[in-house]
Amino acid sequence: MGYYERFSNRDSTPHSLFPTPYLPLDKKISIGYALPVTERLSRGGAFAQKYGPWALVTGASRGLGAEFARQLAERGLNLVLAARSGSQLERLAADLARAYGITARAAVVDLSRADLLNALRPVTDSLEVGLLVNNAGLSTVGPFLAQDADYLLGQLHTNARAALVLTRHYGSLMAARGRGGVIFLASGSALHGTPWSAHYCGTKAYNLMLAEALWAEWRPLGVDVLGFMAGLTRTPGVEANHLKPSRLVPLGSPERAVRRALKALGRAPSASDGLRNHLGYAALGLMPRSLATRVLGRSMRVMFGSRVGSRE
């Protein structure tokens, strides 16, 4: 059984991180998820030189974070995998180390806590972290007033405050070395208010704006910054919100989203996940904001049904 299935308690899906039936990682590499040969030769080495030798990936225990970890290992980076679920991190670290010949460490940390750096620094202080992936995030769908105030604050701290604290700390070390990269997981919902995802889209807007501004500030320092607007992607987090599949908003694969993000790093302040998403955001951008927000509310209703309540 692959990671995605193990951690999501769902049946096998064509988008699973490691496909079922279980294949050893080294075998899987040869059947379709490997970095294309040209990329491996031309970019893999340069990528590790620019962003290595260590990458810190938050929220690496499942979903997009676990896939970032896999693709960075494929590019030869050593890994610090951070999240709360220690056993899942340990297992992923061992599997990636074995499959890709890298070194991987697990860092158990609750990123909603004010002292999050105290949990990470003992693991990372002796390492040269050249890439930070601010991936950990909580997404909740539902009426704003139905959500507990403490939960909303924890979500703010995990999605936004942690990204700020980590970027300030590891970014300053990268700037001193004159090289490195930071990826922020934003979302298309960072561009417009999205009803029934109000607080989440606010946290994602923070990530996107911080990324785009730092892209310009840190370019002269040799540090690349990217705000990546992942499209709707099949992960345990999305499935926990009981999404109804829709032809209008298809679910993408973590494998493809992460490959796009890594390709865009160093090329643009922000990137969206594929042409279809890009065109969707462009169309919304042409509308009056009141209309765009109503359109997004309708699509939330289609995708999440009764979870968004009965009144618009």
8-state DSSP, 221:
G
CA 194 – CA 295 distance, rounded (Å): 9
Q: For ligand NAP, how many residues bind (rule: CB under 6 A)? A: 29
Task: Using the minimum distance from each CB to ligand NAP, give the nearer residue, 141 or 223.
Answer: 141
Count the alpha carbons within 13 Å of 117 in the hemisphere toward its beta carbon: 10
For residues 60 and 131, which CB has a smaller minimum distance to ligand NAP in the complex?
Answer: 60
Which whole-number Å values give the CA distances from 137 to 184, 236, 292, in the listed order? 10, 12, 25
Smallest gap from Cβ 37 to ligand NAP, in A, equals 28
Query: Of residues 59, 130, 171, 280, which one binds ligand NAP by CB under 6 A?
Result: 59
233 lies in the binding site for ligand NAP (CB under 6 A): yes
**Of 25, 55, 56, 64, which lies in the binding site for ligand NAP, with binding defined by CB under 6 A?**
64
CB of 230 to ligand NAP, least distance (A): 4
Q: Which residues carry out catalysis? A: 200, 204
Diameter of the chain by CA atoms? 54
Distance from CA of residue 258 to its chain's centroid?
A: 8
Least distance (Å) between residue 237 CB and ligand NAP:
2
Short-list 303, 281, 177, CA closest to 227: 281
Q: Minimum CB separation from ligand NAP for residue 88, in Å?
A: 6
Min dist. Cβ of residue 77 to ligand NAP (A): 18
Q: Does 85 bind ligand NAP (CB under 6 A)?
A: yes
The candidate with the shortest Cα–Cα distance to 83, out of 12, 4, 162, 147, is 162
Among 93, 174, 191, 238, binds ligand NAP (CB under 6 A): 238
Place of tokens 């090329």: 267
Q: Kindly state whether residue 16 participates in binding ligand NAP, applying the rule CB under 6 A.
A: no
| Piece in contact with ligand NAP (CB under 6 A), picked from 29-37, 54-62, 123-131, 274-282 | 54-62
Nearest 5°: the CA angle 167, 170, 175 is 100
Task: Give CA–CA dist 216/225, Å, rounded.
Answer: 8
Grouping H, G, I as helix, E, B as strand and the rest as coil, residue 21 is coil
* Strand ranges inside the chain, DSSP E: 54-58, 78-83, 104-108, 129-134, 180-187, 223-230, 270-272
Tell me if 140 contacts ligand NAP by CB under 6 A: no
- Applying the rule CB under 6 A, the residues between 172 and 231 that interact with ligand NAP are 185, 187, 230
| Of the residues 17, 57, 77, 83, which one makes contact with ligand NAP according to CB under 6 A | 83
Of the candidate spans 22-30, 134-142, 175-183, 279-287, the one that interacts with ligand NAP by CB under 6 A turns out to be: 134-142
Candidate residues 15, 28, 71, 110; the one interacting with ligand NAP per rule CB under 6 A: 110
Q: Scanning the structure block, which residue is given the tokens 């997009």?
A: 64
Q: Based on the shown chain and the rule CB under 6 A, indicate whether residue 270 belongs to the binding site for ligand NAP.
A: no
| Cβ proximity to ligand NAP, 147 vs 175, nearer residue | 147
CA-based nearest residue to 84, from 61, 55, 66: 61
CB of 177 to ligand NAP, least distance (A): 26
Q: Does 19 bind ligand NAP (CB under 6 A)?
A: no
Nearest Cα neighbor of 135 from 296, 245, 40, 257 is 257
Distance (Å, whole) CA 156 – CA 177: 30
| Residue ranges binding ligand NAP (CB under 6 A) | 59-65, 83-85, 109-112, 135-139, 158, 185, 187, 230, 232-233, 235-238
